[in-house]
Structure 1
Amino acid sequence: MSTVRRHPGETRIVADPDLPTIVITREFDAPPERVFRAYTDPELVVQWLGPRRLTMRIDAYDARSGGSYRYVHRDEDGTEYGFHGVFHEVRPGERIVQTFTYEGSPDGVSLETTVFEDLGGRTRVTGKSLMDSVEARDSLLKSGMEYGIREGYERLDELLGGRQSDSADRPTQTGT
């Protein structure tokens, strides 16, 4: 009998063969409040969401129940990829429910639920995405999204644990 030992920083991406879902799980060495803030503070989101090779511009990011967002990733050649959605439920340190639309495929709206589980100073983040169909899910998986998610979570790990993580602890100042 062999035992597979998983690294706590491993990103697990699981697609149920019978359901149009993707479940993504990752643990971080930070409490839920800090990880949640990195998900909801646009100044932090822009530092980790997506692959390193892309730059990110946030046009709107109102992470509250009833709020909305839009951001654009830009490739080195100038190609832009827009994304938008609505935050349906935002419970600080616990849960985010939102829609997600890639503007290159505007008919493909997914519903995403992200849960932040307290592991005693660490956090397990579990995100479940529900798509319109298994075919839409499979198309998303073939698009390379797995690479972007893994690299984005590596960047989030760095943000939470590295020199930049100090910004995740400072209060955000907003201008008028």
Structure 2
Amino acid sequence: MRWTTRLGAALAAVVLAVTGSTGAPAAADERGSQHGGWVPAPQEPFEQPAGARCDFAVRVEPVVDEVRKLVLAVYPDGSPRRELYTGALISVVTNLETGASTEVDASGTAFVEYGPDGSMTWYVTGPVLFGFRENGGSLPRGLWLIDGVYVVEFAPTLEKTLTMVHGTTHDVCTDLD
């Protein structure tokens, strides 16, 4: 059994404690409409200019993307309120100035709660890649591979606060200098 699979089981216990639900789609949401099942949640490749996350321009591109999501609850307007994400995600991170690259396993599992004000809280087990801008949160500017059991709170301004229960942080930018 993969380490992230065992942590996914731990996250399911967290989802049960937080929501009172096993994560299985409910028969009906607050509006009475049917939730769908698991659906693909593809990660789009993206680029960041020099200085945005790393000292150099960087590209992040998935090479394995089996991420899927399950909508657990929606707001009356249909926007997501709670979702669960899981699946294999391997990305290549490339320094666009030198061509140096590294492969990153970001195959964590996340229970995400969306606030009506644009805030989000991610309850995560396993590795996920997060970008932090300068003065944009509790970690310095970088592309951070965060692994373990942790919570990332996003303010409506997208400032991020990491609360680590147990795990590690690694700035992938340092692998590409």
Q: Same-fold call, TM > 0.5?
A: no
Higher percent of residues as strand? 2
| TM-score of the two chains, using structure 2 as the length reference | 0.36
Which structure carries more relative contact order (alpha carbon 8 Å, separation 6+)? 1
